[in-house]
Amino acid sequence: MKMRAPRIDSGTPWLDPIPSHWHVRRVKDRYRVIGGGTPNAQEISPDLEVSWATPTDFSDAERWLTTTARHISTEGHKSIGAPLIKTDGILISCRAPAGKVALPAHPLSFNQGCKGLSPRHKNVSRDWFFYVLVDQRAQIEGMARGATFLEISGDALKRVVVQVPPIGEQRGIAAWLDLQTSRIDKRIELLGKKRELLLKLRQSLIDELIQADSSSAALVETGQPTIQKIPEHWTLSKFKSKVFFREGPGIMAADFMDAGVPLLRIGNIAPGFVTMMGCNFVAPEKVARQWRQFRLKLGDLIISASASTGIVSEVGESAVGAIPYTGLIILRPKAGMSKNFLRYFVVSKPFLDQIEDHLKGSTIHHFGPTHLRQMLIPVPPQNEQDEIAAILDQRTTRIDKQIVLIDRLEALLKQQRKAIIHEAVTGKIDLSNYEPPVQAT
């Protein structure tokens, strides 16, 4: 494919020059922007007629938005003033996660966190505009404004500038992108499946050694539903007797500063050691007065109270003295407990099963010190704890290296996907004569 020339300035600072026979228009010239509504809770049911969408339904990996779990009645849909978006329309998330774009797989309605684009006339390629809006997500997301929460307004969307080739070229470029992105998406999907298998293997290795020493022939019944058997020379102890734990304090956003004592959030909890990238800060004098007991020590372990990340982070020198925000739990092993054994226990099935058991019937999805006080931990002799941790270090390290490689490949493929879309929708790749391959029947 050759580079297209001549090109003209689009007149928009963040939009690259475009082929001279293309036009620049605003979204409102091609689409009507439609706002969403808010139904009452009783109007939502899986058994009613109209699918109901919210910003949380959008996916980075899937262009089609299909909501099957929530529906509203036809009358309910009319009463809240939320027009249907048909399959020739486009849906945009306008609250967090803002700027995501999706195509409706079937007619659906949506809440106030979304905006719908409905074509003004038939001579519009929905697939072309989908890719243009995907390419412009950063600019669209940057339009979000608000005091209590960020939101992209309908007026802002109307003003979004889009490049418009002739309709035949729109369709050809979109068809070419469908082909190229589907190939990349399949490779990403395969990498995801391989990662999932590796994570399952990693988990099974941890569960096998944490639940029972495989070299031990004699197991005894514990009478506990979540930890039913342990080797006879192990003990089953209260978690609180072997581990000190403390959840971080709730700190108001008004206390955040540009410098001071680091305040760690969930994004700072990384595999291996705590990362300081992107942390908040609070005033040292306020920490000394109110929160000094939460300051981290070298070697502390931190986990998320959601129990869904599967990540244990250790405090290195750079994080000493920092404070974990609420929702993060500090763990310090007591006498007779190996830190490395504890690191594996808190991501093992015996630990996670206990959390699930304690949260059963509850509407909350996270645990805290109250739950940890009720938990049990199998305790081998300390030398055996160290041996188990060393074996798991060796075995999981090999798996972790493969997962890191998969993550890098996936990131490269996503960058390639993004670059291909950008090059195509800005006309840098000459697709003016592209004819989609004939589909086999």
Single out the residue of 252, 312, 313, 314 nearest to residue 286, CA to CA. 252
Do residues 191 and 409 touch, judged by C-beta distance below 8 A?
yes
CA atoms of 136 and 380, how far apart (whole Å) = 56
| Extended beta strands in 217-288, E state | 219-221, 229-231, 235-238, 243-247, 261-264, 272-273, 280-282
Q: What is the mean pLDDT of residues 146-164?
A: 89
CA atoms of 263 and 323, how far apart (whole Å) = 5
Let me know whether 53 and 98 are in one domain.
yes
Q: What is the pLDDT of residues 273-301, one digit of tens each?
A: 999 998 999 999 999 999 999 999 999 99
Amino acid, single-letter form, for residue 60 = D
Let me know whether 367 and 392 are in one domain.
no
Do residues 108 and 36 touch, judged by C-beta distance below 8 A?
no
Domain assignment present for 12: no
Domain assignment present for 35: yes
Do residues 132 and 425 touch, judged by C-beta distance below 8 A?
yes
Choice between 182 and 78, residue whose per-residue pLDDT is larger: 182
Q: Is 378 left (phi over 0), alpha (psi -120 to 50) or beta?
A: beta
pLDDT at position 177: 96
From residue 109, give the alpha-carbon distance in Å to each of 82, 88, 359, 419: 6, 14, 33, 32
Q: What is the pLDDT of residues 162-206, one digit of tens each?
A: 999 999 999 999 999 999 999 999 999 999 999 999 999 999 999
Structural domain span for residue 416 = 1-7+165-198+387-441
Domain assignment present for 89: yes
Let me know whether 230 and 329 are in one domain.
yes
Let me know whether 268 and 346 are in one domain.
yes
Q: What is the pLDDT of residues 322-343, one digit of tens each?
A: 999 999 999 999 999 999 999 9
Q: What is the mean pLDDT of residues 32-48?
A: 71
Domain assignment present for 205: no
Domain assignment present for 73: yes
Phi, psi of 16 (to 5 degrees): -60, 160
Single out the residue of 159, 154, 133, 155 nearest to residue 36, CA to CA. 154
Let me know whether 219 and 368 are in one domain.
yes
Let me know whether 352 and 313 are in one domain.
yes
Let me know whether 183 and 154 are in one domain.
no
Residue bearing tokens 């410098």: 259
Decide if pLDDT at 1 tops 60: no
Do residues 219 and 232 touch, judged by C-beta distance below 8 A?
yes
How many structural domains are present in the chain? 3
Q: What is the pLDDT of residues 340-395, one digit of tens each?
A: 999 999 999 999 999 888 887 666 678 889 999 999 999 999 999 999 999 999 99
**pLDDT > 90 in the chain, percent:** 58
Here the CATH number for the domain that contains residue 349 is 3.90.220.20
Domain assignment present for 94: yes
Let me know whether 439 and 296 are in one domain.
no
Let me know whether 292 and 441 are in one domain.
no
| Boundary-marking domain end, from 122, 149, 164 | 164
pLDDT band at residue 48 using 50, 70 and 90 as cut-offs: low
H runs (alpha helix) in 54-166: 74-79, 126-135, 137-141, 154-158
Let me know whether 42 and 134 are in one domain.
yes
Q: What is the pLDDT of residues 109-130, one digit of tens each?
A: 888 889 999 999 878 899 999 9
pLDDT at position 111: 85
Let me know whether 313 and 231 are in one domain.
yes
pLDDT at position 346: 94
pLDDT at position 68: 62
Decide if pLDDT at 441 tops 70: no
From residue 314, give the alpha-carbon distance in Å to each of 7, 274, 275, 298, 367: 53, 6, 9, 8, 20
CA atoms of 331 and 308, how far apart (whole Å) = 17
Let me know whether 321 and 407 are in one domain.
no
Single out the residue of 192, 195, 197, 196 nearest to residue 62, CA to CA. 192
CA atoms of 388 and 385, how far apart (whole Å) = 5
Domain assignment present for 368: yes
Give the range with max mean pLDDT: 54-68, 69-83, 277-291.
277-291
pLDDT at position 436: 80
Domain assignment present for 14: no
SS (H, E, C) 187-237: HHHHHHHHHHHHHHHHHHHHHHHHHCCCCCCCEEECCCCCCCEEECCCEEE
